[in-house]
Amino acid sequence: MELILFIPAAALALAGAVGVIASRRAIHSALSLLLVLSALAVLYLLLEAQFIAVLQVIIYAGAIVVLFLFVIMLLHMATGEPTVGGLRAQRAAAVVVGALFLAGLLVVLVRPQTAAVLVVGPGPAFGTAEAVGRALFTRFLLPFELASVILLVGIIAAVTLGKARPPEGRGVS
């Protein structure tokens, strides 16, 4: 049963990843990213990590992709320029890096000593809300707090920079 769900989800994730890279328009790349993130949520469900699957849909597929689409539309509207073409050097480098990544992946899958590691699955509590919360507030407490402070500084900076300034030449009364 799991294999029947895994193969289409993995195929959709791979097709979406190719779409992210190969699309000429930024909007199509963002929508392909939405496909990848949705397929990953299905793969998390197959791993019985319901909490992580829900977070994947809500945070990444929902909020982050919408933010990407908003920024893409805002930037293209502000500049009025079409999408940039002629990225031959970057495409060649991407093909080389992709080929190296594929070769490394094949080496890992073919070697018999690493195949045994790939068969071992996650523990029974993997991906549950309790396991994520326990790891977040014990082992990863310092990075979690540092991330919250960095986000707070970013919010304060955005509010400060976005604050309306009085026109020059006029004093504030």
Q: Where are the domains of the chain?
A: 1-84, 128-163
pLDDT digit string (tens) for the chain, length 173 residues: 788 899 999 999 999 999 999 988 888 898 999 999 999 999 999 988 888 888 888 888 888 888 888 888 777 655 555 555 556 777 888 889 889 988 888 887 777 665 555 566 677 777 778 888 888 889 999 998 998 899 888 888 877 877 766 666 555 55
What is residue 171's DSSP assignment?
-
What sign does the CA torsion over 89, 93, 96, 99 have? negative
Q: In 3-state terms, the chain is what percent helix, strand and coil (to 5)?
A: 75, 0, 25
**Helix residue ranges, H only, 111-140:** 112-119, 129-137
Cβ neighbours for 13, distance < 8 A, ≥ 6 positions apart: 35, 36, 39, 40, 43
Q: Which of 131, 130, 135, 127 is nearest to 44 (CA)?
A: 127
Q: How many residues does the chain have?
A: 173
Record: fold of 1-84: Four Helix Bundle (Hemerythrin (Met), subunit A) (1.20.120)
Inter-residue contact 136 to 52 (CB < 8 Å): no
